[in-house]
Chains A and B, each alone.
Chain A
Amino acid sequence: MITLKNVSHEWDDFSLKNVSFNVNKGEHFIILGPTAAGKTLILETIAGFYVPRKGKILLNGKEITHTPPEKRNIGFVYQDYSLFPHMNVKENVAFGLKMQKLPKREIETKVQDIMDSMGISYLENRLPSTLSGGEQQRVALARSLVIDPEILLLDEPLSSLDPRTRETLRDELKRIHEMKGTTTIHVTHDQDEALALADRIGVIMDGELVQVDEPYRVFNEPVTEEIATFVGVENVIEGKINSNQEGVALVETGNYTIRALSKLTEGEVNVFIRPENIILSKVRLESSARNSISGKISRISQFGATFRVYMDNGLSALVTKHAIEELGLKVGENVYASFKATAIHLIKR
């Protein structure tokens, strides 16, 4: 459907380096990365506002690297929605069809249809300045979808909304995507958004696309330490593989040995364990497929509805308030941190 081949470009203070990926028809592809990683610039390059200095962009097998934006048929929704402030909702939605010079009646029908399906018909005469963030978002989506774009580009579409609207619109995005099947490239820094919507995720760091994978793999098998840290794998322990017996690597970390499911057989590694995969207990949970490591609680802090328990063995775990009370977890207490060999991800150092 759309392919980027070694796309590189320099701006005054930023550059994209050899960005290559391919998005299939109907796919919801999410580019995930921290702020200022070049996410918006990738979208703007795909839309045609910048001609990359190196590399190619192909749409349905045809090169569009030098095609002007108005001839690409690629929809764009900016983070701030960028509705035309001097036009009401209906005029905003109709803009693209007017540019195509369609007959008036056809424009009318198409605009009405899309506004109905987005639930914004009641807003048709309102000016953008009078709309809430969520309403503006729907109008911006309707405006770019009405022209039936080959690809829809979404630039942090949910990040300027309040948490509740965000959740509603996230479901809405999913519904629209399932209904229309529009190929979508969506950039975000929000992992939850990526997990909820993406068919595949491309992780971008400092202008470079560092991993393209299914969501599960990005979150559980990040290929670099930066990605691991960014996607929230916050237990990173240095170790050395002693041996590998039938796919289970024994990693010596200095104070304890970790059993990890891995193909690696030797060498220095980083061990990644997501905090929510660690179970705390007062007694050792013995099992061959499980690690159970003792430690003393050094700190407990609250994270929203959950608590994070830090131990002197370098691990931290996410637990509920209920678990804290049930187990009587306190700073200075001895506990066992248990996690499955399959919940561990090893990256060579």
Chain B
Amino acid sequence: MATKKALTGVKRHSLSLIFLFVGSLLILFTMLTLFNMIFRQLVFDTGGLLEAAADPEVIESIVLTLYCSFLATLIGAILGTPLAYVLARHDFLGKTVVESVIDLPVVIPHSVAGIALYALFMSRSPVGGAFSSIGVVFEDSMWGIVVAMLFVSTPFYVNAAREGFQSINPRLERVARTLGASHWKSFYKITLPLTVRHLFSGAVMAWARGISEFGAVVIIAYYPMIAPVLIFHKYTTHGLAGSQPIAVLLILICIGVFILLRVSSKYWEKKK
């Protein structure tokens, strides 16, 4: 009797079990790819990893990557937060078009994005020329890296922020206004604090997306080398053995930073 029950139990859950098995193949694929590289590096070539970690060129490029992506995220947040709020709160003619434009960078091949950015921001173009007259040059410069990262990471921040604002009932702001808060103040005192978690996780995603960008950056700014470009450069000149230690180092640092951000945001939330 008991066995029969257990059997029907399995039968009843058979769909979930099979789905779980199929799904775990996908997880395995991702994990195996990364774990294989990290494990082999750590076990068979610890020296190479330490050497990479001690190489100023490598460290400089990783710091540059994190910093440029941070700047891109900051600019994206400053410009993207108001946009996300408007999209979450208002319906207007052409809203679907605006939303599609925001998502465009996700579907455009990044080499194409790089070429487009280069054409717009090179010193010979009107826009690039205007910037270079105030001393901001994009070709082979940090600002080139930042615009490329901004272009590809924008959708991640704006979409997360918009979802955040959408999750806040507009009635809260309305009540705040009947209690004497101006529209600005009700946004600042009510909506913003309630959305900060969404904004933060959107920023983390955008930042990660910026760090991982290669295609667009490499076209507008091969130098100074960000880590993904350096890794590609080493791969073409020194092969797998030359590029893998840097790749592993970058992955380890990124994973470390993400864990730190996750933990700190959890702690922050609990404190509130």
**Residues of chain A whose beta carbon lies under 8 Å from any beta carbon of chain B:** 44, 47-49, 68-70, 72-76, 78, 80, 82, 84-86, 95-96, 99-100, 143-144, 147, 149
Contacts and interface: CB of A to CB of B under 8 A. Distances in A.
B171 A96 contact: no
A126 B180 CA distance: 24
B181 A99 contact: yes
Contacts of A47: 174, 178
Contacts of A44: 174
A70 B272 contact: no
B180 A100 contact: yes
Contacts of B180: 70, 73, 96, 99-100, 147
Nearest to A75: B178
A62 B174 CA distance: 23
23 contacts: A44-B174, A48-B177, A49-B174, A68-B182, A69-B174, A70-B179, A70-B181, A70-B182, A73-B180, A74-B178, A75-B178, A76-B174, A76-B178, A78-B171, A84-B176, A84-B190, A86-B193, A95-B176, A99-B181, A99-B185, A100-B180, A144-B175, A149-B178
Given A70-B182, A99-B185, A82 B172 contact: yes
A69 B171 contact: no
A207 B123 CA distance: 61
A144 B179 contact: yes
A38 B4 CA distance: 58
Given A84-B190, A86-B193, A86-B194, A70 B171 contact: no
Contacts of B237: none
Contact of A70 (B169, B172, B177): B177
Interface centre among B171, B183, B194 (most CB of A within 10 A): B171
The 8 closest A-B pairs by CB, nearest first: A96-B179, A99-B180, A69-B177, A76-B178, A82-B171, A82-B175, A70-B177, A99-B181
Contacts of B178: 47, 69-70, 72, 74-76, 144, 149
Nearest to A74: B178
Interface of B: 169, 171-172, 174-183, 185, 189-190, 193-194, 272
Contacts of B172: 82, 84-85
B231 to A, nearest CB: 43
Contacts of A78: 171, 175
A85 B194 contact: yes
Interface centre among B169, B171, B172, B178 (most CB of A within 10 A): B178
Contacts of A69: 174, 177-178
B179 A82 contact: no
Contacts of A48: 177
A286 B175 CA distance: 60
Nearest to B171: A82
Contacts of B169: 80, 82
Contacts of A147: 179-180
Interface centre among A68, A85, A143 (most CB of B within 10 A): A85
A95 B181 CA distance: 9
A57 to B, nearest CB: 15
Contacts of B194: 85-86
B272 A86 contact: yes
Contacts of A49: 174, 177
Interface centre among B175, B181, B182 (most CB of A within 10 A): B175
A85 B190 CA distance: 9
A48 to B, nearest CB: 8
Interface centre among A48, A70, A76, A96 (most CB of B within 10 A): A70
Contacts of A82: 169, 171-172, 174-175
Nearest to B176: A95
A76 B175 CA distance: 6
Contacts of A73: 180
A10 B56 CA distance: 66
A80 B172 CA distance: 10
Contacts of B272: 86
